[in-house]
Amino acid sequence: MKPFYIFVSILALLASSPVKSQVLYVSPLGNDKNPGTKAKPIASFAKAQQLVRALDTRSKVKVIFAKGTYYLPETIRFTEMDNKASVVYTSEKEGDAVISGGSLLKLKWTFYERGIYKASVPPNTVIDQLYINGVRQRMARFPNAISGKNVLMHGILIMKQNRIPCLMPFLQNILLNGKIHREGIFMACMLISGEICTG
């Protein structure tokens, strides 16, 4: 009988043990060398995840993000290492924190010509969208965009053997491979005579 009473006593003790509750604070003005307190917040999602993984398995954790944008240098991955604690990632105020898959480019812009500015970006930078001061910019293209018109509204899809598909809307006359094409074409991600043309 004694082992039974000991077993029941241990269960009662575990059931009455309070689950630890912890809070980590993240801020764009923080530092990942900080402990993650409100007074000394950390700066990144990756560091928050690292600290959470190191906590007690019985912890309930809330990770609070202060107002700002948090850029992710790599994809966030949740694995079995994240199963130890119950975690809530939340903004300090609803809608104030933004988790962004983009990259913050600190560029030196110089005037080029006719209202065009230019800047150098780091090597191997892949850009498919560009925002300046929170406003999405139109990417370089040919032909130039016309306000209120969608140049990709009409066209044909051409498929060639071992070639990338190409959307070719009719625009204006254009000379291509020595031939004049009726009403012209707009090239988007196509391969012609071994050369990649983009527009």
Q: What is the pLDDT of residues 70-118, one digit of tens each?
A: 998 888 898 888 887 789 999 999 889 999 888 888 888 899 988 888 8
Residue 128 pLDDT greater than 90, yes or no: no
- Pick from 20, 19, 21: which is nearest to 62 by CA? 21
CA distance 141 to 128: 12
What pLDDT, on the 0 to 100 scale, is given for residue 43? 95
Predicted confidence band of residue 14 (pLDDT cuts 50, 70, 90):
very low
- 52, two tokens: 């959470």
Q: Please give the average per-residue pLDDT across 45-57, as a whole number.
A: 88
Specify the amino acid at residue 178: G
Whole-model pTM: value is 0.57
Q: Taking 50 as the threshold, does the pLDDT of residue 197 lie above it?
A: no
Looking at residue 90, what is its pLDDT? 94
Q: What are phi and psi of 47, to 5 degrees?
A: -70, -40
CA distance 112 to 120: 12
More confident residue, 7 or 47: 47
Residue 157 has pLDDT above 80, yes or no: no
Give me the percent of the chain exceeding a pLDDT of 90: 25
Report H helices in 27-130.
Answer: 45-53
| Cα dihedral 104/105/111/113 (nearest 10) | -90
Average pLDDT score over residue span 128-146: 77
pLDDT, mean of residues 46-53: 93
Q: pLDDT band at residue 158, thresholds of 50, 70 and 90? A: very low
Residue 180 has pLDDT above 80, yes or no: no
Nearest Cα neighbor of 130 from 122, 140, 120 is 140
pLDDT at residue 10 in the model: 44
